[in-house]
Structure 1
Amino acid sequence: MTGPARDGSRGADLGGGQGGDRGAGGPAETGAERDPGLQPERTRLAWRRTTLSSTVAAVLAAKTTLHGGGSVTGVLVCALCCALWLTFLAIAHRRIRVLAAATGGEGPPALTPRHATAATLCTVALAVCAAALVF
């Protein structure tokens, strides 16, 4: 256990200050800049994860349709799932390209409301179609 130094200073404070307060030496005070490439990278990964999830839902919808005997309704719902998946894939691929192309300090442009709405509707509709095939 360490005590105060002989010259009266407190010594190294490894606890981060009183009560969890970061105090001096935090990222804002030391001049450390954030990496502008991290946020677009996380966003690209999120788009890829969502695309993978929608791919799994579409594949499971196709498997359920084929395994269930292939009724007309099942085939139509499966075709709708595939169309929704392709639409979402196109939107996600476009956004991933925009994020990858963004360089400089400004970052990528914001997702347009039209594309955000389309991606959301495709995701929700794909989930509803896949759930309809299961139940």
Structure 2
Amino acid sequence: MKYSCLFLILFSLSCSESELRTVELSGVNIIGKWQLEATKISPGGPVDWSNVTDGAVIEFKPNGFVEVSNSENEQIGIYKIEEDGISIRFSETNNYRGSLQEGKLILGFIGCIEECSFRYMRIN
């Protein structure tokens, strides 16, 4: 019995609150993997979405970290859910803002003069 109490104490100490919480954006749990399915990059005029095959995967973790894989530049950053959307920071100059629209995660590159949007679909 005393070993089971010790096990329960150790187990509860190993699981922090941040590891157990869900992170919601517009009522949707953002935690998990999302894959790039389309981009909207404008060279100076109006553009529409262009489909992407085998796009980069972005994974939101419950501890506030985000990882991008399956792309040219694998990155680790941090994200924050705010009242008006989500912000992602990979470095001083590599930052994104986004929101959920019709179940898709739409991210935009901060500092882009023209349209620079990336649409992700949940895969996990």
Normalised to the residue count of structure 1, the TM-score between the two structures is 0.24
More helix by share: 1
More strand by share: 2
Larger RCO: 1 or 2 (CA < 8 Å, sep 6+): 1
Normalised to the residue count of structure 2, the TM-score between the two structures is 0.25
Larger Rg: 1
